[in-house]
Chains A and B, each alone.
Chain A
Amino acid sequence: MSDLVWLIPLFPLIGCALNGLIGRRWPEKIIGWIGSAAVGASFVVAASIFLELLGMDPGSRSVETNIYTWILSGQLNVPIGFLVDPLSVVMMMVVSGVGCIIHVYSIGYMAGEVGFRRYFTYLNLFVFAMLTLVSANNFLLMFVGWEGVGLCSYLLIGYYYEKKSASDAGKKAFVVNRVGDFGFLIGILLIFVTFGTLNFTGVFAAAPDKLTHGGTLVTLITLLLFVGATGKSAQIPLYTWLPDAMEGPTPVSALIHAATMVTAGVYMVSRLSLLYAMAPVSMTVVAVIGGATAVYAATIGITQFDIKRVLAYSTISQLGYMFMACGVGAFASGIFHLMTHAFFKALLFMAAGSVMHALSGELDMRYMGGLRKKLPYTHLTYIFGTLAIAGIFPFAGFFSKDEILFFAFERHWAFWALGAIAAIMTSFYMFRSVFMTFYGESRVTPEAAKHLHESPPIMTIPLVILAILSLVGGLVGIPIFAGLNRFGDFLAPVFAPAQAILHGAHAEAGHHEITLELGLLAVSLAIAIGGFFLARWMYITDPSVPDKVISEYPDLHEMVYHKYWVDEIYDVLFVNSIVRFSRFLWKAFDDAVIDGIVNGVAGAMRGWARGLRRVQTGLVKDYALSILFGVLLVIGYLVLR
């Protein structure tokens, strides 16, 4: 079965081709269902492979299948090949599963859009690229998927291409990603030069003797790759594209900018856990960046009013969590959180989308409020998502997040602190969004209010499914009691080598005293609930508080509200300066200097020519003179020499 893994990316590609090439005349329904079915099929295959893996014994749960040689040049030999192991299977299931749900949701959400077909073509293309990314068995193919998803995100963000902001956002996303990919690419080159191969298995096999633990080389490699990760997964300093990416249709935000693509970085880091484990410095960097991002993004999230932007920043913050997990060596927990996050963040986005849908495109929470009556399902599911992300027991987020916090604490209490701060802020702004949207008195603009309606079942059903998933999704990996953490155990073989390096031979994950674990659980639960009450107090009990706070610290609020002016700084620092410099080069160097010289030579020639004309006076005596002058020179040379 697992040798049919190539079917998984193939199905979406087929769907994409069908819709894209011959789907011009088809009705929306067909197009939509073809798209969804394609992804669904991939899910089925992935699931069956998963079951097959379960059947095998943990040691041998890693199967490679090469389709054909892609690039062969000298000793460079890159196959189109796939790697099936617990990690990739999990990713495939998440991607195809969530992807399928979102496809279905889109059928309803995008109904009647002009570019309906274009939308589904891109979406399928994206799933194809994403699946390639997670199933590739070598760096270069992974890079193909890596850039592929970037392209699709560019296309989908710019879906409403007539909106300048949209196409700008798309471009920004692609370029910023390119900056990351630049690092990634160099990393790949360095790996090839070091190992002479680009296959994961080959690299991992050779790593111990090719690299020294904590050596410069491995550190360099891992850091370069991490640059790629920061780009794709919107970490400091390359996160700026993600908030703007909300210009795309909401399902896109749900699929690409919450559930799947942005997690590619996390997947990559954990895929290379071995290398990272060998480079403590890089680990620390990853952890620090992750933690910092988690807090930083959360602070911005608190002040935003655009519901999708709130979610976007929360996504960045959650991704920070995952990286922190990887950074502290808890790769499994990172992936675990990745999965749960996929569930509830997708849910939240789609719920938000349904709200938009209901309010005919309104995104500003200041014009919402009291919607829970009108939009019962949406309301309920959104609550579920919020509870999950805030980490309320027994929702999915609770387990994954606490696992991360625990390991962070084990590594160093500071990381735990960061996580905790992020957590409280998260739960605060999430509940804030809940209250501002669904509670309090309605601030909906009248004309929006006119046709205010709950979304059709085609949209609500996916919501419900995801709501359920975000409720029970965490149960597959209950951390405390060893043995119950099936998820961790399932992934364990993948990370075993890394763990071995990290804490020597003896210890492995999940071996620690219960009391501490429980204590931390309690604390974080408290934090979550604290966030809830704070939000409730500020937005339900006494809505005037926020303004008071703002007027208390206006500058602070300004700064945070404007995302610390990072975009502006970047513009000044890089964009404008380069553009201005390029203009200078064009005008001052290309036109002035080079062409100046070229035309100058021509001009000089003409000048001499005119001079020579003047000599040609037309007077015989002058001509005779010049002849005589010639005589003088010739004779002079001959006689006096």
Chain B
Amino acid sequence: MESSSFPWLSFIVFVPLVGALLLLFLDRRYHTLLRWVALVTMLADLVGGIVVYWMFDTSSGAMQLSEFHRWVPSWGIAYKLGIDGISLFLIMLTVLLGPIVILASWKDIQNRVKEFLVCLLVLQTGMIGVFLSMDLFLFYVFWEVMLIPMYLLIGVWGNPARKLYAAIKFVLYTIVGSLLMLAAILVLYFMAGQATGVYTFDLLKLYDFHVPLQAQFWMFLAFFLAFAIKVPMFPFHTWLPDAHTEAPTVGSVVLAAVLLKMGTYGFVRFAIPLFPNAAIDATWWISVLAVIGIIYGAWVAMVQVDVKRLVAFSSVSHLGFVMLGMFSFTMQGVQGSILQMINHGLSTGALFLIVGIIYERRHTRLIADFGGISKVMPAFAVFFMIFTLSSIGLPGLNGFVGEFLILLGTFRVHPWYAVIAASGVIFAAVYMLWMFQRVMFGKITNPKNLGLKDLSAREVVVLLPLLAFVVWIGVYPDTFLKPMEPAVKKFIERVETKRAAVIKIENARKLTVTNSGLKLTLSGRGLTTDR
């Protein structure tokens, strides 16, 4: 593998952590200083990200800028990073959001600022690490690491009413899934090890291993659970509204913009390529769940009384699109779903910022408490409107491109899912515009809303970059589609070829009845060679 002279990937992974350590040594009373340090750290990270983007070769679908260091050689665990067209923009999104969340929390968070910033920075490291890890063990470590700061963000700085419930709910939901995934990872590790003789957690090596069908099914199930909870897909979504509602603004922003993507990213990077047959066999019910999620999320969002809850449910709906596109296994579908991850990150993240801005002024999230805001906050109204439109997929803004590609890709393979999903577009318009109307339009009924200040310079700075990308992706998506194309092509090919190969192997095995499938029995020893 080629390795770049300077380990840029490690750089962007660990700069935030270094910043966090630095913060630990600073006096907790100098809030501004702390904030500036954090901001500078995030900016450095952003710069690193830009460098990575600049060094990235858009024409190749291979892992790039890879780094490799032995970690636990006896178990074939390595510190292995790599980036390709699929993770590239998720990384970009993450590093872009870094400074934004610091800025956004500038006034919002006033108690225990130090811990807060540390949490954010550690979280940043965890998230970037997840997107870059090319080693299952490493991936799992980052996956769990970023759990804790998020838990603290919700639990410490959330709003007192139900924050504890929300926090622990978030953690337990995630843990259950990820622990089962851990079990599956181990099984995979040994199956591959015994089949090939090399025991390794190296993802790329494991890609080349063909898991027997029955085993695939179980492992895929475990991975599915872990990722589906994170996404969250339809029946596993109930942690999301609570987490979003109770978390502080930036918590919701990061949660919506990046954390949810880990689920979808997990599918495209791990679950599907590792277990293609199981994945393709699962297409129909996953698609059904996704479609249900789209409609269900939209409908339930429609009747929410709390802005944040509404946006949370809209996330359920949007990520349904992402899943649907991914499981179409068509160029447009997959590209669309990856693009839609970014879109959702931008627009929903922005929406949470928006909500945070009025929450900061009014300390309520109930739609009923607002109304007529656009009279007192015109500039705010403009931003709000644009992000709303981007979230309901108005052509010319980012949302549309992604949704259209997804629908197109899906329509090509199973039209009916696409048709039903497309109806979600209608409901999206309904709930978002209705919410917008109730918040922004009408006469100001509540005297408290009269004195509201319009956006401050800082808030504009926070929102502008997101706005820029929202428009950019809408008008010239090629910038984003081109680099991911080779990787996506490779993804689809890998799924297809591997699937075919496994089927061939299975047929061969059927002839010779030496079935070395998983024995899920009590005293199995099905996998051991040393007995």
Contact = CB atoms under 8 A, between A and B. Distances in A.
A and B, direct touch (CB closer than 8 Å): yes
A595 B240 CA distance: 11
Contacts of B437: 158, 167-168, 170-171
A144 B389 CA distance: 13
Nearest to A80: B475
A74 interface: yes
A175 interface: yes
Contact of A585 (B300, B404, B425, B430): B300
Interface of B is mostly: helix
Interface residues of B, number: 56
Contacts of A586: 300, 303-304
Interface string B276-316: 00000000000000000000100110111000000000000
A74 B302 contact: no
Nearest to A75: B331
A427 to B, nearest CB: 38
A193 B440 contact: no
Contacts of A146: 395
Given A174-B429, A582-B299, A594 B238 contact: yes
Contact of A161 (B374, B396, B408): B374
Interface stretch (A181-189, A204-212, A266-274, A350-358): A181-189
Nearest to B489: A74
Contacts of A327: none
Contacts of A236: none
Interface string B167-185: 0010011000000000000
B442 A581 contact: no
Contacts of B400: 144, 147
A585 B296 contact: yes
Interface stretch (A53-61, A64-72, A462-470, A618-626): A64-72
A148 interface: yes
Interface stretch (B265-273, B452-460, B477-485, B505-513): B477-485
Interface string A405-431: 000000000000000000000000000
A164 B299 contact: no
Contacts of B422: 182, 185-186, 189
B418 interface: yes
B485 A148 contact: no
B217 interface: no
A192 B442 contact: no
B335 interface: yes
Nearest to A168: B437
Interface of A is mostly: helix
Nearest to A224: B419
B411 interface: yes
A182 B423 contact: yes
Given A164-B442, A590-B238, A582 B404 contact: no
A594 B234 CA distance: 10
B372 A162 contact: yes
B494 interface: no
A178 B331 CA distance: 27
Interface string B427-457: 0011001100100111100000000000000
B238 A76 contact: no
A583 B431 CA distance: 13
Contact of A189 (B300, B375, B418): B418
Interface in B115-169: 169
B299 A581 contact: yes
B336 interface: yes
A76 B304 contact: no
A579 interface: yes
Nearest to A586: B300
A189 B407 contact: yes
B238 A71 contact: no
Contacts of A161: 374, 440-442
A151 B423 contact: no
Contact of A72 (B303, B375, B482): B482
A500 interface: no
A598 B304 contact: no
A73 B335 contact: yes
A192 B331 CA distance: 14
A602 B173 CA distance: 11
A185 B425 contact: yes
B394 interface: yes
A143 B443 CA distance: 34
B375 A140 contact: no
A70 B433 contact: no
A69 B401 CA distance: 13
Most buried by B among A74, A140, A179: A74
B348 interface: no
Given A162-B442, A193-B412, A598-B238, A590 B300 contact: yes
Interface in A588-612: 590, 594-595, 598, 602
A73 B418 contact: no
B477 A70 contact: yes
B433 A171 contact: yes
B36 interface: no
Interface in A561-588: 578-579, 581-583, 585-586
Given A579-B302, A594-B235, A151 B394 contact: yes
B326 to A, nearest CB: 14
Nearest to B429: A178
Nearest to B433: A171
B403 to A, nearest CB: 9
Interface string B461-488: 0000000000000011110011001000
A26 to B, nearest CB: 16
Contact of A175 (B335, B411, B430, B441): B430
A610 to B, nearest CB: 19
A75 B409 CA distance: 11
Contacts of A167: 437, 441-442
Contacts of B241: 590
A175 B432 CA distance: 11
B434 A171 contact: yes
A189 B411 contact: yes
Contacts of A171: 433-434, 437
B297 to A, nearest CB: 10
B405 interface: yes
A185 B442 CA distance: 32
A73 B433 contact: no
Nearest to B382: A20
A243 B418 CA distance: 32
A598 B299 contact: no
B77 to A, nearest CB: 33
Contacts of A151: 389, 394
Most buried by B among A69, A76, A154, A170: A76
A186 B412 CA distance: 11
Interface in B369-386: 372, 374-375
Closest 10 CB pairs of A and B: A74-B331, A144-B395, A582-B299, A167-B441, A161-B441, A189-B411, A582-B303, A178-B429, A178-B426, A586-B300
Interface of B: 169, 172-173, 235, 237-238, 241, 296, 299-300, 302-304, 330-332, 335-336, 372, 374-375, 389, 394-396, 400-401, 404-405, 407-408, 411-412, 415, 418-419, 422-423, 425-426, 429-430, 433-434, 437, 440-443, 475-478, 481-482, 485
Given A73-B335, A161-B440, 12 more contacts: A143-B395, A147-B400, A148-B396, A161-B374, A167-B437, A175-B426, A175-B429, A186-B411, A190-B411, A595-B238, A598-B238, A602-B172
Interface of A: 68-76, 140, 143-144, 146-148, 151, 154, 158, 161-162, 164, 167-168, 170-171, 174-175, 178-179, 181-182, 185-186, 189-190, 192-193, 578-579, 581-583, 585-586, 590, 594-595, 598, 602
27 contacts: A70-B478, A72-B481, A73-B332, A73-B481, A140-B404, A161-B441, A162-B441, A164-B441, A168-B437, A175-B426, A175-B433, A178-B426, A178-B429, A178-B430, A179-B426, A182-B422, A182-B425, A185-B425, A190-B411, A193-B412, A582-B299, A585-B299, A590-B241, A590-B300, A594-B235, A594-B237, A598-B238
